[in-house]
Structure 1
Amino acid sequence: MTFATELIVLAVALAVTWRVLGAYMAGVYEGRYSLLVRLERPVLALVGVSASEEQSWQRYARSLLVFSGVSIVVTYLIIVSQAHLPLDPQHLVGVPPALAFNTAVSFVTNTNWQNYAGETTMSYFSQMAALAVQNFVSAAVGIAVAIALVRGIARRGRATIGNFWVDTVRGVLWILLPISLVMAVVFVWQGALETLGGPVHVVDALNGVHQVIPRGPVASQEVIKQLGTNGGGYFNANGADPFENPTGLTNVLSIYLILAIPVALTYTFGRMVASVRDGVAVLAAMGIIFGVTLAVALVAEHQPNPAIQHAAGALASRGNLVGKESRFGIDNSTLYNIVSTQTSTGSVNSSMDSYTPIGGLAMMAGMAFGDITPGGVGSGLYTMLIFAIVTVFIAGLMVGRTPEYLGKKIQRTEIIWASVGVLVMPITVLVATGVAIALPSARAAILNAGPHGFSEVFYAMLSQGNNNGSAFAGLSSNTDFYNIVGGIVMLLGRFGVMVPVLALAGSLAAKEPVPATAGTFDTATPMFAGLLIGVIILVGALNFFPALSLGPIAEAVAHGRFFA
């Protein structure tokens, strides 16, 4: 299959998914499937809630924070004491406290940043009972918050936005689990590992060298890491490891799984607010930014890497193959990594550190825009809706009218919460990057000098602040400083946005809609989609252009080229 054909197949599959999965998710969260409602009652009874019980935004937020806090503690305790727990055929030691803190926060916040090699650090029990569990529930929490905001937009004069426990249970039981079960079988069929049989010991008959090949329950974690835009790899090489991503089919399926729910949620949004055209406008803005970023990366990676030319005097006529997965080539490696960084997945299949400066800039751009094109499961939609509210506010200022979005007036309270939701990530990332560059002990972890070294630090904070989890490499980040500061950045990047989103949902739900007039700005038009794109790019540029100028842009200028 040619790369162009692959893109067409992906586009068609996602178009079908947008409609079918999007409608299904709307039905799940609106409780329209009576069979599913009956089946989930015993699970909800264990939690002590009923499907009809609703929460204010404050109670919803408290439930979210308590659940996530308990999840962090439980995950931390499992991995820090794994040496005393079962299912550990490699007899691994417990994870050090700072690394355990970073890892627990990472998986609970849907970041899956990994300062360790999974196959030599985490036991089977830790992988299954701690990390894989969080792959499911952290993804379900993200979708739940997005659904709560959609309800806030759709409801009229209501004091509630749903129930956190009901939404989370439904996300796990009726969306994530069924798809993961089916796709895990496909991955096993293609050759992905799934065993509790322990590592394999191999002796090379030619030279007598002994080798230990780690194995484990890989396929089941591989699928949910993609579907839930988690990204944490069972193996250190993540999507480049043939035990995780064995064939061209699994590579394409991985890309599809990453995009499926974020894309489909735009239809879910349109259905729940009774305006599918508004969902299309949001999806169009996501798609245009995604397409432009992918095109820039592909053009950049088909040029020779200036660093390689400078160091070795070698001209790569077929583009920048360094660091790419040779089974997939430049195009599929670049597409995979753009998809991973335009969502909050981070499960890359080639080395970011070896991309050209502009190729690396394209990866950073997705996160600089807020990881919303199309973003992570839930997080992409709710952050995009925050930008939509900021956009209608700006449009209202242009024409001198009180801005409205889907019949709700956007006033002081809404714009304050939306502004906090937009700004908390860039402020966190830039402050953390500045601290890391200022401290000698943190600078000592940088393995490359100049702009490339700055890019490595900035990328690490940008990735964690956006709950992405991919790494630029070249940074010895398994230190107490990077583990603790990175954990704080991930917490702020996740809950510092979620709480304002829920407050915004509560404020909108309490409002009565206003009738449309001749002066109402239609938010289901190409004009609105274009304005939304402009606001996203403007906010990203204002926040991060100076940092990008010190990193990949300065590196490109230093080598005297952007493109060939």
Structure 2
Amino acid sequence: MTLQGWLLILAFVAILVALAKPIGLWLFALYEGRRTPFHAVLGPVERGFYKLSGINPDEEQNWRRYAVHMLIFNATLLLFTYAILRLQAVLPLNSQGFAAVGDHLAFDTAVSFTTNTNWQSYAGESTMSNLSQMLGLTIHNFLSAATGIALAFALFRGFARRNMATIGNFWADCTRITLYLLLPLCIVYALFLIANGVPQTLAGTVDIATLEGVKQTLTVGPVASQEAIKMLGTNGGGFFNANSAHPFENPTALTNLVQMLSIFLIGFGLTYTFGKAVGNTRQGWAILAAMLVIFLAGVTVTYWQEAAGNPVLHGLGVPGGNMEGKEVRFGIAASALFSVVTTAASCGAVNAMHDSFTALGGMIPLFNIQLGEVVVGGVGAGIYGFLLFAILAVFVAGLMVGRTPEYVGKKIEAKEVKLAVLAIAVLPLIILGFTAISSVLQQGLAGPLNKGPHGFSEILYAFTSAVGNNGSAFAGLTANTPYYNGMLGVAMWVGRFFIIIPMLAIAGSLAAKKYTPESSGSFPTTGPLWTGLLVGIVLILGGLTFLPSLALGPIADHLAMISGKLF
């Protein structure tokens, strides 16, 4: 580890903490439905959308109606994307003449982008036409991100409202988030990327001559526009197979830093928005502090392990840290930081291959997702996932003090605790269940590149990434098969919506309750004690649930490595 590496990590955190309040206030304006500076230009677009679709943005919805509309919207988007991919060969903007995407791959990809997972069982530059990339995938990046933020707003209203049966309007939330937040930011972001060398063209390829005089044909396309929302919306689906390790997606150290910042930007802001919504910004800062404690611990372990390198290679006379699978222009520190950022959020973009990390260095990205991706998490999904853990944390605190717990003025009773447990239990049930099935079936065992603990880690990581709606991979698993495309598609859908439904039910239940002011017997939920309890609940639940599987995979892999054995 180097001083330069640590300065990068500390500067990264400092910039984001400084931006949390400004972006949080912007989000809070959208949460309340207030005007923004963009309303003068985009207001007619918003009103035109409502008029064409027959939507009354002022008509509030209860949690059931909010959930039904959200599910119908996402199911329609899934079918729309599936149709585009299956009809790709006869649709325009296909200058390279790509064939239609196969049925099981089209299913997997449509589910992946609908659920904000963006898992890719394909190489984008050799599979997807420009139309498929723009209309089928990039549009999803906007709408799945907007859905996540809208759902966070719904839960915020549950905590903030008193004696009400409604939690907002799904269509109004999604429209305002897309028009007044994601679209303006992405236009500026895309222009920045273009200025730094990221292509933005409808051309499919360009011919060049290398310095040696060899002719090469390079794939290009509308990369910058997809890259901007890919990062800002924590989507992660790359235009190219190498994702953010590709120089056309991530050309310089500056673009690498900005990409990492943009992955966390909205997630940081939403913590402040939550504090504003419940009338106490210290509540938001406490949640952000808990997220940062876990995040910095993960970065420390990953950077330490990657900088230490492989002792087996050291014994063969190859000194230094682990540079396998990393871009030289980024190095170990920026690659380790990127890996923890993208898995602490539900992004899945990568600038290095996690399959080539050391055993413990690769375990931290895996463990980040297994925690529920609540360490900042995906846009919207991270904060509402963390609030589910907060409900369990105040329940535990209530058991210790012997009274019904409150959180931000709302009594947390049996109904909310049961729903929170139900939502949190989805991840381990599907991750461990599908991993176990795939570890014994012939179709599942045909996927991993490696044998032994590392091969098991490849399977475990795939289902962890799918259920956690992350989308990154260990890169050693051959996933473009009917078995894995089908299983991963189901895992992604369950991992997204089987958590959302109980969460919205909690929002509806809380919104109907009266406000309960703090008293001398209330457990404080803004100080270091509360932050420590939150961290402990998240880590203990994740550790107890997934430690056996981690012991079979990366921990066993690490013990073999330090004993001088490589699988």
TM over 0.5: yes
| Matched AA of 2:289 | A
- Structure 1 stretch displaced more, 213-222 or 314-323: 314-323
**Distance (Å, rounded) in 2 between the aligned partners of 1:76 and 1:104:** 5
**Distance (Å, rounded) in 2 between the aligned partners of 1:384 and 1:453:** 31
Counting only pairs closer than 5 Å after superposition, residues 247-262 of structure 1 correspond to structure 2 as 247-262=252-267
Counting only pairs closer than 5 Å after superposition, residues 163-242 of structure 1 correspond to structure 2 as 163-202=169-208, 211-242=216-247
Residue number in structure 1 paired with 2:333: 331
**Distance (Å, rounded) in 2 between the aligned partners of 1:247 and 1:488:** 37
> Is residue 344 from structure 1 mapped to residue 308 from structure 2 by the alignment?
no
Structure 2: which 5+ residue stretches go unaligned? none
Q: 1:76 aligns with which of 61, 77, 82?
A: 82
| Matched AA of 1:232 | G
Residue number in structure 2 paired with 1:159: 165
| Matched AA of 1:359 | G
Q: TM-score, normalised by structure 2?
A: 0.96
**Distance (Å, rounded) in 2 between the aligned partners of 1:365 and 1:3:** 22
Distance 1:303 1:315, change over 3 A: farther
**Distance (Å, rounded) in 2 between the aligned partners of 1:95 and 1:369:** 33
Residue number in structure 2 paired with 1:499: 501
Shift of 1:362: 1.1
**Distance (Å, rounded) in 1 between the aligned partners of 2:395 and 2:94:** 55
Contact residue 41 and residue 51 of structure 1 kept, 8 A? no
Structure 1: which 5+ residue stretches go unaligned? none
| Matched AA of 1:126 | S
SS in 2 for 1:548: helix
Distance 1:34 1:261, change over 3 A: closer
SS in 2 for 1:333: helix
Residue number in structure 1 paired with 2:304: 299
| Matched AA of 2:242 | A
- Structure 1 stretch displaced more, 313-322 or 141-150: 313-322
Shift of 1:474: 1.2
| Matched AA of 2:287 | V
> Is residue 467 from structure 1 mapped to residue 469 from structure 2 by the alignment?
yes
| Matched AA of 1:278 | Q
**Distance (Å, rounded) in 1 between the aligned partners of 2:223 and 2:342:** 19
Contact residue 396 and residue 402 of structure 1 kept, 8 A? yes
Q: 1:373 aligns with which of 372, 375, 385?
A: 375
Residue number in structure 2 paired with 1:15: 17
Count of residue pairs the alignment pairs up:
558
**Distance (Å, rounded) in 1 between the aligned partners of 2:436 and 2:4:** 44
Distance 1:397 1:43, change over 3 A: same
Contact residue 36 and residue 180 of structure 2 kept, 8 A? no
Residue number in structure 2 paired with 1:56: 62
**Distance (Å, rounded) in 1 between the aligned partners of 2:510 and 2:493:** 25
**Distance (Å, rounded) in 2 between the aligned partners of 1:456 and 1:257:** 28
SS in 1 for 2:308: coil
Residue number in structure 1 paired with 2:449: 447
Residue number in structure 2 paired with 1:128: 134
Residue number in structure 2 paired with 1:399: 401
Shift of 1:204: 6.1
**Distance (Å, rounded) in 1 between the aligned partners of 2:10 and 2:431:** 36
SS in 2 for 1:212: strand
In percent, how many aligned pairs have the same letter? 47
| Matched AA of 1:285 | A
| Matched AA of 2:520 | A
**Distance (Å, rounded) in 2 between the aligned partners of 1:308 and 1:491:** 41
Deviations 1:285-313 (A, max 9, x none): 0000000000000100011224645xxx5
SS in 2 for 1:50: coil
Distance 1:273 1:216, change over 3 A: same
Distance 1:536 1:257, change over 3 A: same
**Distance (Å, rounded) in 2 between the aligned partners of 1:402 and 1:561:** 51
SS in 2 for 1:488: helix
Shift of 1:408: 0.8
Contact residue 306 and residue 356 of structure 1 kept, 8 A? no
SS in 1 for 2:553: helix
**Distance (Å, rounded) in 2 between the aligned partners of 1:120 and 1:306:** 38
**Distance (Å, rounded) in 2 between the aligned partners of 1:402 and 1:544:** 30
Residue number in structure 2 paired with 1:419: 421
Shift of 1:38: 4.5
Q: TM-score, normalised by structure 1?
A: 0.96
SS in 2 for 1:88: coil
Residue number in structure 2 paired with 1:434: 436
Deviations 1:164-210 (A, max 9, x none): 10111111111111000001000000000111122123466858x65
Deviations 1:57-110 (A, max 9, x none): 000000010000000000000011101000011100000000000000000100
Contact residue 118 and residue 470 of structure 2 kept, 8 A? yes
Distance 1:306 1:492, change over 3 A: farther
Distance 1:559 1:62, change over 3 A: same
**Distance (Å, rounded) in 1 between the aligned partners of 2:96 and 2:341:** 34
Residue number in structure 1 paired with 2:123: 117
**Distance (Å, rounded) in 2 between the aligned partners of 1:245 and 1:206:** 25
| Matched AA of 1:516 | E
